[in-house]
Amino acid sequence: MNEPPMTLAAPRIDCREYGQLPDGRVVHEYTLACGPLTLSAITLGGIVTRLMVPDRAGRMANVVLGFDALHDYVERNPHFGLIVGRYGNRIAGARFSLDGQVHELSRNDGDNCLHGGRQGFGTRLWRAEPLPCRPGDDSVALQLSYISEDGEQGFPGRMEARVRYTLAADASWRVDYEATTDQPTVVNLTHHDYFNLAGGGSALGHKLLLVASHYTEVGPGLIPTRVAEVEGTPFDFRHGAVIDSRIRQDHPQLAHGRGYDHNWLLDRRGGDALQVAAQLADPASGRVMMVLTTEPAIQFYSGNFLDGTLLGTGGQRLRQGDGLCLETQHSPDSPNRPDWPSTVLRPGETYRSSTLHRFSVA
């Protein structure tokens, strides 16, 4: 739903009480405004509940799916807008071996561990700290922190996680992740926003570009089986394609995922700097989102399991394809694939990852 025309905001952060959890703990909502963007996030899971972005005429719309009430996020959230951890995506058999020791994890996706288990980071109450704006600043930031105790959801080590949201006047939203541990563990943090640049209706008419020549095919349980080339398949988005023109093609991998729910290996040029991973565009509104990341891969999920049973923000009934996810990450099941880039974090090391969403209009 479109809202009044945009106004360029000076950097600011507002805070209000959003609601209470069943155990009485208070959840707060922070609203960041800077330049043409406004972002609202709650301390439960760091969930981004609202991201207001202008279209080519300057009309504002919320471009992420969410709910109107806290109890929906507590009781039925299909990962809308949350911080994913300790391990984004799937770990096969909900177990992995590290330094000769087998660790059994929370099973919440058949026999697998998905997005950190039944009570992953997106279900936890985070501590929020607005970072002060200084005169002349062209950005505003909110830092979220959470301590994951040793053994939480089966993961070893006491891990301290910090996630920073930054809005800048150049119409960008940046997410920076850091983590440290007191024992060897695995970590793969990401964000699970469902984007719809039209602000409503289906997102399958969006045009998607992925800077990736390879993807990981999946088998039962959507666990990766092998790396394959995208050439000649519906998974080739290197030159951009409308999602709806590909998603119903006759391909066994699309049948496995009921659409797209796959991991692409990015064509990175080396180094740890932010590099372009994806671009998403809505032709009708003109909104364009470019995704840059330090991560080696990205999961494109086309909202296949939205089945009309959920009512989102404003009472919108959410159906398949009404939002899509672009989750920057290491590859799923990497802890069980020693030939893939490692996700192991050891004491004395600091895990770091960054992703930038840059908005513009065509």
- Alpha-carbon separation of residue 166 from 170, 172, 271, 300 (angstroms): 11, 8, 23, 23
Average pLDDT over residues 152-180: 98
CA dihedral sign of residues 156, 343, 178, 358: negative
Cβ neighbours, 10 Å, residue 355? 24
Whether residue 317 has pLDDT greater than 70: yes
Give the Cα separation of 183 and 150 in Å (integer).
Answer: 8
Average pLDDT over residues 334-338: 97
* 329 within 8 A of 295, measured Cβ to Cβ: yes
Instruction: Note the pLDDT of residue 176.
Output: 98
- Number of structural domains found in the chain: 1
**Is 192 among the residues known to form the active site?**
yes
**Is 256 among the residues known to form the active site?**
no
Instruction: Note the pLDDT of residue 5.
Output: 59
Strands of 325-329's sheet, edge to edge?
Answer: 224-229, 212-218, 261-266, 297-301, 325-329
Give the Cα separation of 306 and 317 in Å (integer).
Answer: 9
Among 29, 152, 295, 327, the active-site one is: 327
- pTM given for the model: 0.95
Among 192, 262, 330, 357, the active-site one is: 192
Q: Tell me the residue length of the chain.
A: 362
Instruction: Note the pLDDT of residue 272.
Output: 87
Q: How many CA atoms lie within 13 A of 25 on its CB side?
A: 12
Instruction: Note the pLDDT of residue 10.
Output: 81
CATH of the domain at 136: 2.70.98.10
At 252, list the tokens: 């066994």
Instruction: Note the pLDDT of residue 8.
Output: 75
Q: Which domain holds residue 180?
A: 2-361
pLDDT band at 4 (very low <50, low <70, confident <90, very high): low
